[in-house]
């Protein structure tokens, strides 16, 4: 593989860090470790109010990254909307997600688009920009089959799934199957933690639930836990360090991760890396590309009583938790940066 000058393009929401940011940093480091000259180009992204979205897209379209100060750039790798509108002759996309409020979330409480002419015009513009900007990218990769399916359904564009490794892949280890259920995700409505809290209220088992992470939904979730009278049965840990999170995975009985139609879900592959079973739902999207019911986790309807039953089953049977958890480890072993780099940069 010849060494290249590569720019990774990403849209950054100021003050927010999550899976997309970790993916970009992991890709940058993996490319540098393999001898490439790499940097990240990030532009701030605002989606509220809806009318501001085209400005963010225009800012990317005005950028021509063919060269920097007279030095050629061999390749740009774009990640999420609207970074793939950048101009470059060698443009690859590794699509994290599109602007979901205009696509699969449209018409749901997760979208801030409303049925008025101004919002419809912006939505139509996003569709046009995506077809054009993503259509320019060759090849097209996504982070999951679920994201590829949305791209095909809404934009008629084909792509190939290319799974990203967790930033903790080399650190995860399997400890004993302890006395708590772990949730490790950003606290926002799309992660559906209210389902977990309501399920805890239905549980018969004494297992504690530890919620690691921060996000805009923290206050609402804490209020719901108080309203349900959960007391010490649920602990909100807030931000935890990398070492603390790895230790939490290692000692959990199981991991709850049941977002709404998730793009990919690092929590799933991290749980499997630590040999923990995953409790999820039959509408969790990309999570279901990894979790098989009764094999490496438990899949149930998005119903509190059903989730409680799954948690109780794992609470009552340590051997079941271990059998399911260890079955997940081989799946994530095949997710490597070598595979990602070979696809994006070329063997």
> Do 131 and 13 belong to one domain?
yes
> Do 158 and 184 belong to one domain?
no
> Do 107 and 251 belong to one domain?
no
Could you say which of 162, 196, 223 is where a domain stops? 162
**Domain range holding 120?**
5-162
Q: What's the domain count of the chain?
A: 2
- DSSP secondary structure code for residue 64 in this structure: B
pLDDT interval class at 1 (50, 70, 90): low
Q: What is the pLDDT of residue 48?
A: 82
Q: 94 to each of 26, 68, 305, how far by Cα in Å?
A: 13, 22, 38
Could you say which of 162, 193, 215 is where a domain stops? 162
CB atoms within 10 A of CB 258: 28
**What's the pLDDT tens digit per position in 60-99?**
999 999 999 999 999 999 999 999 999 999 999 999 999 9
E runs forming strands in 146-233: 160-161, 180-184, 208-212
> Do 109 and 207 belong to one domain?
no
Asked, for residue 276, whether it belongs to a domain, the answer is yes
Give the length of the chain: 347
Which of 55, 52, 63 minimizes the C-alpha distance to 85? 63
**What's the pLDDT tens digit per position in 30-50?**
999 999 999 999 999 888 889
> Do 93 and 157 belong to one domain?
yes
Which of 258, 305, 266, 264 minimizes the C-alpha distance to 282? 258
pTM (2 d.p.): 0.92
> Do 203 and 304 belong to one domain?
yes
Could you say which of 162, 188, 206 is where a domain stops? 162
> Do 97 and 191 belong to one domain?
no
Asked, for residue 174, whether it belongs to a domain, the answer is no
> Do 243 and 148 belong to one domain?
no
Asked, for residue 281, whether it belongs to a domain, the answer is yes
Q: 218 to each of 170, 188, 224, how far by Cα in Å?
A: 30, 8, 10
> Do 87 and 184 belong to one domain?
no
> Do 43 and 113 belong to one domain?
yes
**What's the pLDDT tens digit per position in 154-174?**
999 999 999 999 999 999 999
> Do 151 and 189 belong to one domain?
no
> Do 157 and 191 belong to one domain?
no
CA angle 153, 156, 259 (to 5 degrees): 30
**What's the pLDDT tens digit per position in 224-255?**
999 999 999 999 999 999 999 999 999 999 99
- The gap from C-alpha 237 to its chain's centroid, in whole angstroms, comes to 20
Q: DSSP secondary structure string, 144-171?
A: SHHHHHHHHHHH----EE-PPPPTTTTT
């Amino acid at each position: 593989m010849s060494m290249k000058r590569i720019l990774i393009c990403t849209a950054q929401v100021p003050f927010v860090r999550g899976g997309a940011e970790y993916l970009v940093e992991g890709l940058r480091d993996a490319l540098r470790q393999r001898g490439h000259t790499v940097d990240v180009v990030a532009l701030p992204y605002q989606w509220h109010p809806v009318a501001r979205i085209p400005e963010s897209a225009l800012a990317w379209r005005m950028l021509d990254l063919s060269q920097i100060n007279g030095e050629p750039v061999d390749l740009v790798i774009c990640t999420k909307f609207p970074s793939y509108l950048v101009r470059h002759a060698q443009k690859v996309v590794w699509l994290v997600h599109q602007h979901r409020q205009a696509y699969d979330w449209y018409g749901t409480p997760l979208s801030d688009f409303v049925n008025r002419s101004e919002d419809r015009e912006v939505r139509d513009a996003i569709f046009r920009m995506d077809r054009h900007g993503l259509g320019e990218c060759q090849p097209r990769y996504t982070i999951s089959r679920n994201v590829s399916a949305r791209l095909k359904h809404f934009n008629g564009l084909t792509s190939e799934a290319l799974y990203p490794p967790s930033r903790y892949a080399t650190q995860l280890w399997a400890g004993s199957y302890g006395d708590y259920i772990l949730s490790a995700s950003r606290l926002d409505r799309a992660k559906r933690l209210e389902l977990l809290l309501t399920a805890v209220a239905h549980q018969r088992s004494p297992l504690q639930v530890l919620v690691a992470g921060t996000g805009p939904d923290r206050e609402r979730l804490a209020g719901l836990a108080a309203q349900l009278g959960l007391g010490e049965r649920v602990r909100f840990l807030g931000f935890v360090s990398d070492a603390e999170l790895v230790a939490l995975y290692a000692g959990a009985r199981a991991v709850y991760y049941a977002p709404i139609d998730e793009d990919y879900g690092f929590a799933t592959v991290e749980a499997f890396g630590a040999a923990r079973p995953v409790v999820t739902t039959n509408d969790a999207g990309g999570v279901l590309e990894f979790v098989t019911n009764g094999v490496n986790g438990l899949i149930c309807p998005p119903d509190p009583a059903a989730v409680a039953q799954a948690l109780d089953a794992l609470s009552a049977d340590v051997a079941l938790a271990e059998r399911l958890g260890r079955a997940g480890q081989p799946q994530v072993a095949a997710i490597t940066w070598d595979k990602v780099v070979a696809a994006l940069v070329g063997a």
